[in-house]
Amino acid sequence: MFPESCTFSKNPMSRGLVCICNMVSEKEILATLKKGARSTAEIQQATKAGTSCGKCLMTIDRIVEEFLEKLPADPQRRIEFDNQ
């Protein structure tokens, strides 16, 4: 599922570096998400993870996706309806 070059693992005890090129850990990515980042692009901008070789981008995408799935629904979010 994850590229062989990535050190990301589904085992929480073995999670470490996600981006080897820029030495960015999963812990740093999660901290950035907790501060408000909501996309891989925002993670890249804040941490530089995934901005060199790009082999970790799928892993970063997965971390972001899993984080966002766990967030409670925002009751302030407005839903736009098409009036047709």
pLDDT tens profile 34-66: 999 999 999 999 999 999 999 999 999 999 999
Query: In the 3-class helix/strand/coil scheme, how is the chain assigned residue by residue?
Result: CCCCCCCCCCCHHHCCEEECCCCEEHHHHHHHHHCCCCCHHHHHHHHCCCCCCCCCHHHHHHHHHHHHHHCCCCCCCCCCCCCC
What is the model's pLDDT at position 73?
A: 76
Residue 71 has pLDDT above 90, yes or no: no
Specify the higher pLDDT residue, 1 or 53.
53
In contact, 59 and 3? CB cutoff 8 Å? yes
Specify the higher pLDDT residue, 84 or 18.
18
What is the model's pLDDT at position 5?
A: 44
Is the CATH number 1.10.10.1100 carried by domain 12-70?
Answer: yes
